[in-house]
Structure 1
Amino acid sequence: MTSALHLPPYLLYLHGFRSSPKSMKAQVVQAALEERGLLDRLICPQLPASPKAALALALELAAHHAPDNLAIVGSSLGGFYACALAERLGVRAVLINPSVDPTRNLEHHVGVTTNWHSDEPFEFRAEYIDELKAMRVDTITQPERYFLLAATGDEVLDYRDMVAHYAGARQHVIPGSDHAVSEFPIYVDDVLAFCGFGPAADVVR
């Protein structure tokens, strides 16, 4: 039951490298919130290529909507951003196959590349690696703030790094699967519940 006195949080969804709000997981989250009549609680921006600019945009959106009533879901590079934001803002975060240290992977992507969903070109500059280094969280505080969803079959990132980095947090390790977590619709209700949203059938506005 939702009332004016106890509104569900705003949900900030942060997509991964070369991705967008059109990603499968972002669309699944959108559909699940729409089913609950809570689509207006979703914040799902297109992130700029610059990590510093991406973090600044996320902080601006959080401040504008509800810094004291916010939860974050981040996938891959978006999971890295989500961790940095959760530490800064003290909010809950769900991390889906998150990058723990993206500098190790993204150095190979410096140059011009394209967005997966639009083929629009953008430049990932060498200085962005330093921006990533500046925002890395070496050790999380308050592990109970985090929910890690990691797939052993991730073909891009090593799930063992994720499990170690988020030690003490709630964790669900999926045997097999892939970097995209193709079965994400199975897990979206657990993700939303952790963020503060009840089952679709229980929500009344």
Structure 2
Amino acid sequence: MAKRVIYIHGFNSSQKSYKAVRFGELMANYDVDYCVPNLNHEPLQAIIKLEQLITPNTVLLGSSLGGFFATYLSQRYQIPAVVINPAVAPYTLLQPLLGPNYNPYQDYYYDLNNSHINALKALAVDKLKHPELLYLLQQTGDEVLNFQHAVNYYSQCKQLVEFGGDHSYTGFESTFANIVDFLKIT
């Protein structure tokens, strides 16, 4: 059975995000089942959709809010995950965005409300029980998230912290070999 690689995009993004597409181009060179589900703003619906894709031979790659989801799934199902500039506490970050929102990449409007914030809080992993299953890729120039939060939260995990960059993870392609190695993609 081919390894399933699930890429989990971030908040207000889609399966057409740059990293999802570029990583998919790389995965075309491997015998893998590469999945990038479109996730909407409902955290519990997103998790359910992702859980339905998990097979015994699954690995994860998540960016921003996708990194938060990947962390939850990694620890719950004990599967390897690479997290890229992950949101450690998205329930705090999204609080100022409560109210009407628009996802330009999936072209739909929605209301972000306290039930979404509470759902994210419920998915938070306070203490990593299996830090060896996580690999943090973090850039210090992330203009959306405080990089130090991720460095501290994932302190027991393998880390690649690069000076500079931004939230999109500048030079993402340079990490391909590290990701493939950590996730044991052959």
TM-score by length of 2: 0.94
Q: Is the 8 A contact 1:8 1:196 kept in 2?
A: no
Mapping of residues 126-165 of structure 1, within 5 Å: 126-165=114-153
Are residue 58 (structure 1) and residue 50 (structure 2) matched?
Answer: yes
SS in 1 for 2:23: helix
Spell out, residue by residue over 1:72-129, the C-alpha distance to the aligned partner (whole angstroms, 9 max, x if none): 1110001001111011100001000001111111011112222242443233222100
Bigger relative contact order, structure 1 or 2 (CA pairs below 8 A, ≥6 apart): 1
Deviation at 1:37, TM superposition (A): 5.1
| Among candidates 14, 19, 27, match of residue 20 of structure 1 | 14
Gapped regions of structure 2 (runs ≥ 5): none
Q: What residue is the counterpart of 1:35 in the other structure?
A: 29
Tell me, in whole angstroms, the C-alpha distance in 1 between the residues paired with 2:75 and 2:29. Answer: 30
Q: How many residues align?
A: 186
Deviation at 1:167, TM superposition (A): 1.2
Mapping of residues 85-164 of structure 1, within 5 Å: 85-164=73-152
SS in 1 for 2:94: helix
Q: Is the 8 A contact 1:55 1:81 kept in 2?
A: yes
Q: What residue is the counterpart of 1:201 in the other structure?
A: none
Q: What residue is the counterpart of 2:182 in the other structure?
A: 194
TM-score by length of 1: 0.86
* Greater C-alpha Rg: 1
SS in 2 for 1:114: strand
Tell me, in whole angstroms, the C-alpha distance in 2 between the residues paired with 1:170 and 1:117. Answer: 32
Gapped regions of structure 1 (runs ≥ 5): 1-6, 199-205
SS in 1 for 2:44: helix
Identity of aligned residues (%): 33
SS in 1 for 2:28: helix
Tell me, in whole angstroms, the C-alpha distance in 2 between the residues paired with 1:118 and 1:47. Answer: 9
Spell out, residue by residue over 1:35-66, the C-alpha distance to the aligned partner (whole angstroms, 9 max, x if none): 3354xx1111001211111111111111xxx1
